[in-house]
Amino acid sequence: MEYIVQQVINALAFGAEYALLALGLAIVFSIMGLVNFAHGEIIAVGGYTMVALGALMIGNPYIVIASAVVAAMFASVMLERFAFRPVRYADPTTGLLTAFGVSMILQNLFLLFVSPRPIAVTSLYFLDWPVNLFGVQVSSLQLFETGATALVIVALMLFLRRTTLGIAMRAAALDFEMVRLVGIRANRVFAVAFLVSGLLAGLACIFIMARRGSVDPHMGFNPVLKAFVACVVGGFGSLPGAVLGGFILGAVEVAMLVLLPQEYGGMKDAFVFGIIALLLIWRPNGILSPRIEKGDKV
Amino acid sequence: MTRGLYGVALISIVLIAIGVATTYFGSRYHLRLVYGAYVNLLVVLGLQVFMGNARITNLSHSAFMGIGAYVAAICVTPETVKAISLPQAPWGLNAFSLDPISSALIAIAITAIIAALIGLIIVRLTAIGATIVSLAVLVIVHSVFLFRTDIFKGNQAFFGIPQVFSLTSIVILSVAVVFIARMFRESKWGVQLRASADDELGAQASGVNIHQVRLIAWILSGILLSIAGIAYAFYLGTISARPFYFNHVFLTLAMLILGGMRTVTGAVLGTLIISFGLESVRWIETGPVVLGIDLPEVLGLSGVVLGAVIVLTMAFRPEGIMGDREVEDLLLKP
Amino acid sequence: MLAVDQLSVFHGPIEAVHGISFNVAAGQCVSLLGPNGAGKTSTISAITGVVRATGRIEVDGEIMSDQPVESRILKGVSVAPEGRRVFANLSVEDNLKLGGAIVQNKANIRSDIAHWLQTFPVLGERRAQLAGTLSGGEQQMLAIARALMSRPKILLLDEPSLGLAPKIVAQIFDIIRHLKNEGMTILLVEQNATQALKLSDYSYLLNNGKIVAEGSAEKLGQSNELMAELTGIA
């Protein structure tokens, strides 16, 4: 029983991390059809910010966390401004390939200017301690992660429902030109989308860093690959879909860890991706995606 | 069609000229480099057949190349070598060996079957969906390579593959593949596929079976990629799982994008530019001494350049250098 | 109020409108009439700035033609576009809220929403409903109300009667007449020439991207032949 509860909490924590990242991808995709593969490098920017603070002997956890998040938001907005603006109205493939290119550039810049090797960041270890939750041993980090994700989802929902800009972003997912035609500046909508996306990546960065304790140029790649998968599963562009997809992916991963015999551990990713591919065959557009009309829009 | 042949001839002249020049003037090191570029050319051409005509981004091409390479390597490597390198191989894989031609045919057949099975799924999906499944294929195949060390040796070198090919063989091969890719593009299927990429509903309405033509292109693409893998294994003598993963996927993708994925000429042009361009960048990367100045080592520069090539191409010329024009369109009147 | 001079509109390489000029004076309702493909919607799109165009567009003496879409809206242009394009995934109220996004004073937005929900009681009844669930006529009313939320100097109406039942069409034209009587400057694009002529102060007939006739309702109405040929409605 205790084992099951532990694994459920494991799945929730994994899922929360994927959901955070997937939301960041989905919010950008929903308004501009861009699959932002460079999202992972935004996480790395947060990580390297922590390294920089460490070098400056700044260890105050609040400053470290705040700076990492702010740096991620800033980097995300800069990407929109300089890399993605030229392909703003291009087809998804052009956007996807641009994002691959940006991701490659950033990874190699980290490699070039910082180091190809992992650098230890210990300032966030304090977030992780064992907690006894109703007799079950769990990690505080997992609870933080699940809690923070829940909070973020609620905050995001309020933003999207209550503020004019939030409402505009929901409208933009459907008809961007019409949003401009009511006088809302396209640049602002894009900037806010990337700002929110960067914020989500920054938060995910905190948890990723607290868990792995080191940063390297390629650290963002795997998490974003998973987030990408989560988005696809949930239905690309759908925000609830991204959250659902994230948690499904977390559950599948933990199930694989639990169910697969020890010696098959190396095949975990293969099984996860296999299951995801099967899911897509069953629902080609993802679970929660709106029906896509292939004809001309009137 | 005649125009197409004219285009193939022009490209072939260039490919043969580079091959001849390298054979006569190049060092052993240059030979290896140019051979590598021709292998990538085969990959990019194989990629173009599906991605360029159907305009669906494929990320699994390096996996198919890997399957071709490994199957051919396992078949062709002598038992004596395999007894040392694969002592635990199941199903008697280390207890036989075949001649290169049979090995290559088996490799092509197995890759084609795997491609067909995966293709049945891929062709039914929307563009983004197909891309993610192709990504899943890449990850799964790579995991299998890494996991079954008893067959593939994972990240360690699979060694002892006899050197069957020379630069001459791959030049001939690449001319043949240019011909195949070009003929497919101009064939009924190729035309239908391109039409459906422009206007899916319209093509469907005029009786094009999109799934079928996509599947044909996908399988042909898989076959060409396996040939690239075979050529790779038959020259280098050792292979490992690492070259068949993301780095290679992006490298070849950048080549196709830069040249222009819609045309065979674009595929060739992009491959040549990036292969030779990147080599110069790699030279700078190592921190050479230029005019008496000892330049610093700049690891990662080639990655930055490659990424920049993709980003700038997408921003300023998303259809690539060639766009919709093949080489003969530049020279002949329409 | 609105002055259009030598306007040409392009869709890719194709020129859809060839150097037309026309004016809408303050408080007037002017209509652009003509058959399908005449270039009416292209003209509207050029005024809002969503398509590539050359020529000069002025609103209230200010040149619009070199400004991005959003600035034109900010400076008093507003449109209820062809096909209505209400935000189907938002409630009626949120649609209106976005319509007023450029209005600075929050209290004004609230009072305007209240005002238009009162003017269009059907919308008032459905204020929390998703716009996508409304009928065609209701969506058209919402599109017009949304356009009015920005307190425009000039209202562009693109085919407001398209695809609606005759009874609803009459309702929509009543609304337009009401707006005109309240002093709104309107540029109306219509295929339904008979109805549009009746309420317009001045009309232009477009065909193949050119103005082929212009004048008051009486003048254009007299030329039955022309009307029949161009609009298919005798």
What pLDDT does residue A297 have?
33
Which residue out of A30, A85, A181 would a mutagenesis test of the C interface target, given it has the greatest number of C Cβ atoms within 10 Å? A181
Which of A37, A95, A83 has its CA nearest to residue A228?
A37
**Closest approach of chain C CAs to the CA of A147, in angstroms?**
29
* Sequence spans of domains, chain C: 2-84+153-231
| pLDDT score, position A190 | 93
Render pLDDT for B68-89 as a digit per residue (tens, 0 to 9).
Answer: 998 888 888 877 777 777 777 7
DSSP code, position C83: T
**B128–A232 C-beta distance less than 8 A:** yes
CB–CB of B135 and A228 under 8 A?
A: yes
Those of residues 177-236 in B touching chain A at CB distance below 8 A are 200-201
Cβ–Cβ < 8 Å for C86, C139? yes
Specify which residues C58 forms β-bridges with.
C3, C63
Residues 90-129 of B with CB under 8 A from A: 121, 124-129
Q: Within 13 Å, how many C-alpha atoms sit on residue C102's CB side?
A: 25
- The strand pairing partners of A138, in sequence order, are A131
For residue C98, which residues of chain A lie inside 8 Å, CB to CB? 164, 167-168, 171, 179, 182, 184
Nearest to B125 among A101, A267, A280 (CB): A280
Residue showing tokens 């003209």: C43
Indicate if the pLDDT at residue A132 is higher than 70.
yes
Q: Which residue has the higher pLDDT, A175 or C234?
A: A175
Give me the DSSP letters along A124-162: TGGG--EEEETTEEEEHHHHHHHHHHHHHHHHHHHHHHH
Residue B78, Cβ neighbours under 10 Å: how many? 12
Q: In sequence order, what are the residues at sequence separation of 6 or more whose Cβ sits closer than 8 angstroms to the Cβ of residue A4?
A: none
The dihedral region occupied by B300, where left means phi > 0, alpha psi between -120 and 50, and beta the remainder, is left
* DSSP character string of A10-61: HHHHHHHHHHHHHHHHHHHHHHH----TTHHHHHHHHHHHHHHHHHTT---H
Whether residue A232 and residue B132 make contact (CB cut-off 8 A), yes or no, is: yes
What is the distance in angstroms between the CA of the first residue and the CA of the last residue of chain A? 56
Structure tokens at A295: 């004809």
Q: Which domain holds residue B88?
A: 2-244
Neighbours of chain B (3+ CB pairs under 8 A): A
| C97 near A CB under 8 A | yes
Q: What's the total number of domains in chain A?
A: 1
Angle between helices A2-32 and A239-259 (to 10 degrees): 150
Between B131, B135, B304, which is nearest A112 by CB?
A: B304
Can you give the pTM of this predicted structure?
0.86
pLDDT given for residue A298 in this prediction? 30
Phi-psi region of A203 (alpha: psi -120 to 50; beta: other; left: phi over 0): alpha
| CA nearest to A175, candidates A23, A32, A287, A286 | A32
In contact, A285 and A235? CB cutoff 8 Å? yes
Token output for A237:
């562009």
Distance separating alpha carbons of residues B16 and B330, to the nearest angstrom: 21
Residue C77 phi/psi, 5-degree rounding, is -95, 140
C98·A174 Cβ contact <8 A: no
The sheet carrying C154-158 orders its strands as C77-80, C154-158, C185-190, C29-33, C202-207, C210-215
Enter the tokens of residue C100: 């007023």
Task: Assess contact for B258 and B270: CB atoms under 8 A.
Answer: yes
Query: Amino acid identity of B129?
Result: G
Contacts of A33 in chain B (CB under 8 A): none
Confidence of residue C91 (pLDDT cuts 50, 70, 90): very high
With touching defined as 3 or more inter-chain CB pairs under 8 Å, the answer for chains C and A is yes
Residues of B in contact with A102 (CB under 8 A): 307, 311
Residue A168 domain flag: yes
CB-based contact A173 C89, cutoff 8 Å:
yes
Q: How many CB pairs under 8 A join A and B?
A: 136
Please answer yes or no on whether B303 and A236 come within 8 Å at the CB atom.
no
ipTM of the predicted structure?
Answer: 0.91
Q: How far is CA C116 from CA A179, A228, B9, in A?
A: 20, 43, 70
Instruction: Report strand pairing: C2-11 vs C52-59.
Output: antiparallel
Q: What pLDDT is recorded for position B20? A: 77
Q: How far is A104 from chain C (nearest CA, A)?
A: 33
Query: Which residues in chain B have their CB less than 8 angstroms from residue A87's CB?
Result: 314-315, 318
**Residue that the structure tokens 């894009």 belong to:** A190
The region of weakest confidence among A73-87, A127-141, C99-113, C121-135 is A127-141
Which of B55, B136, B300 lies closest to A277 in CB terms? B136
Phi and psi, residue C178, nearest 5°: -60, -45
C150 touches chain A (CB under 8 A): yes
Candidates B132, B138, B148: best to mutate against A (most CBs of A within 10 A) is: B132
DSSP 8-state secondary structure symbol assigned to residue C191: S
Contact at 8 Å (CB) between A65 and A87?
no
Q: Are C109 and A167 in contact (CB under 8 A)?
A: no
The pLDDT of residue C234 is: 38
Per-residue pLDDT for A97 more than 60?
yes
Tell me how close the Cα of C135 comes to any Cα of chain A, in angstroms: 16
Are A167 and C94 a contacting pair at CB < 8 A? yes
The residue written with tokens 């993301």 in the block is B246
Do the Cβ atoms of A180 and C101 come within 8 Å? Answer: no
* Per-residue pLDDT at C85: 93
Choose the closest CB to C150 out of A171, A175, A183.
A183
Q: How many CB pairs under 8 A join A and C?
A: 61
Cβ-Cβ contacts under 8 Å, B126 against chain A: 284-285, 292
Burial of B138 (0-12, 13-18, 19+ CB in 10 A): buried
Contact call for C87 and A181, based on CB within 8 A: no
Mean pLDDT of C179-206: 89
- Neighbouring chains of C at 3+ CB pairs under 8 Å are A
Q: Are residues A180 and C90, on separate chains, in Cβ contact within 8 Å?
A: no
Which positions 118-147 of C are in contact with A (Cβ < 8 Å)?
Answer: 146
Most confident range, picked from A212-216, B127-131, C220-224: A212-216
Is residue A296 predicted with pLDDT exceeding 70? no
| CATH architecture type of domain C2-84+153-231 | 3-Layer(aba) Sandwich (3.40)
Instruction: Tell me, yes or no, whether A250 lies in a domain.
Output: no
Angstrom distances, CA of residue A92 to CA of A33, A47, A292, B5, B253: 6, 29, 14, 34, 16
Please report, as a single letter, which amino acid is at residue B16.
I
Comparing CB atoms, the residue among B136, B200, B310 nearest residue A273 is: B136
Average pLDDT over residues A209-228: 88
Q: What is the pLDDT of residue B295?
A: 67
* Strand C77-80 with C62-63, pairing: unpaired
Supply φ then ψ for residue A99, to 5 degrees.
Answer: -60, -40
**Average pLDDT of chain A, as a whole number:** 86
Q: Give percent of chain C with pLDDT exceeding 90.
A: 59
Write down the pLDDT at residue A292: 45
CA distance C83 to chain A (A): 6
Point out the residue among A86, A221, A285 whose CB comes nearest to the CB of B129: A285
Pull the structure tokens for residue C94. 């949120």
CB contacts, 8 Å: B311 with chain A: 83, 98, 101-102, 105
Write out chain A residues lying below 8 Å of C87, CB-based: 170-171, 174-175, 178
In-domain check, residue B87: yes
Chains C and B touch (3+ CB pairs under 8 A): no
Structural domain contains residue A9:
yes
Residue numbers of B between 134 and 153 with CB closer than 8 Å to A: 135-137, 139-140, 143-144, 146-147
Query: What percentage of chain B's residues is helix, strand, coil (to nearest 5)?
Result: 75, 0, 25
User: Shortest CB distance from A273 goes to which of B139, B301, B310?
Assistant: B139
Q: Is B321 on the interface with A (CB under 8 A)?
A: no
pLDDT at position A168 is 93
Residue segments in chain B with a per-residue pLDDT below the cut of 70: 1, 92, 95, 291-292, 295, 333-334
Average pLDDT of chain C to the nearest whole number = 88
B257: nearest CB among A97, A103, A217? A97
What whole-number distance in Å separates Cα of residue B223 and Cα of residue B219?
6
Give the contacts of C33 (CB within 8 A, at least 6 positions apart). Answer: C40, C189, C190, C191, C193, C196, C197, C203, C204, C205, C206, C230, C231
Which of A170, A177, A186 is opposite residue C90, by nearest beta carbon? A170
* pLDDT on residue A290: 54
* Rounded alpha-carbon distances, angstroms, from residue A151 to A201, A227, A249: 15, 19, 20
Tokens linked to C188:
């109306």
Cβ(B252)–Cβ(B45) below 8 Å:
no
State yes or no: pLDDT of A189 exceeds 60: yes
Ramachandran region of residue A261, left (φ > 0), alpha (ψ -120 to 50) or beta? beta
What range does the domain containing A204 cover?
2-128+137-219
Q: Measured between alpha carbons, how far apart are the two ends of chain C, in Å?
A: 32
Segment among A91-105, B84-98, C68-82 with least mean pLDDT = B84-98
Using an 8 Å Cβ cutoff, are B77 and B70 in contact? no
Domain total in chain B: 1
pLDDT at residue B224 in the model: 93
Q: Which residues of C touch A174 (CB under 8 A)?
A: 87-89
Cβ contact A168–C101 (<8 Å) = yes
Distance CA B123, CA A281 (A): 11
